[in-house]
A and B are shown apart, each in its own frame.
Chain A
Amino acid sequence: HREQVRSIAVPVFACSDDRPGLGLRLTEAVHKEIQRRLPYRVVPGGSADSRLIGRVLGAYKDVIGETRNDDPRTLQLQLAVEVTWTDMRTQKVLA
């Protein structure tokens, strides 16, 4: 069925974390990545034959290394994201 998908809508990901712009930045990165790697056109919601809905569930930043003066030196950023890709013609979940 994926061969029949020609276009994809990717609305701005919802973000329950309050980091400013995180959902938007991730959505823009996904747009670019789709355009770089896949044959699907990224189009606005109404006209697409498939839709990728995403939600940032959490963003966690931890210090995992410090300088000898106890200043943060190495930070780890983890993102938890849920996505659902649906064929809008059949309502079938593709991924």
Chain B
Amino acid sequence: SMATASQQVIDRMARQIVDLLE
């Protein structure tokens, strides 16, 4: 669904942000 797809984008962005903290 659209909501699921946008959540995937949000989760991917969260992973990229946390990459910076490693």
Interface residues, chain A, CB within 8 Å of chain B? Answer: 8, 22, 25-26, 29-30, 32-34, 37-38, 40, 52, 54, 75, 77, 79, 81, 83, 85, 94-95
Tell me the bound Cα distance from A32 to B2 in angstroms.
22
Tell me the bound Cα distance from A11 to B5 in angstroms.
25
> Nearest chain-A residue to B14 (Cβ)?
A29
| Number of B positions contacting A (CB below 8 A) | 15
Selected contact of B18 from candidates A22, A34, A94, CB within 8 Å: A34
8 contacts between A and B (CB under 8 A): A26-B10, A26-B14, A32-B14, A34-B18, A77-B5, A77-B9, A83-B20, A95-B20
Tell me the bound Cα distance from A52 to B5 in angstroms.
26
The interface residues of chain A, by DSSP majority, are classed as mixed
CB of A44 to closest CB in B, whole Å: 18
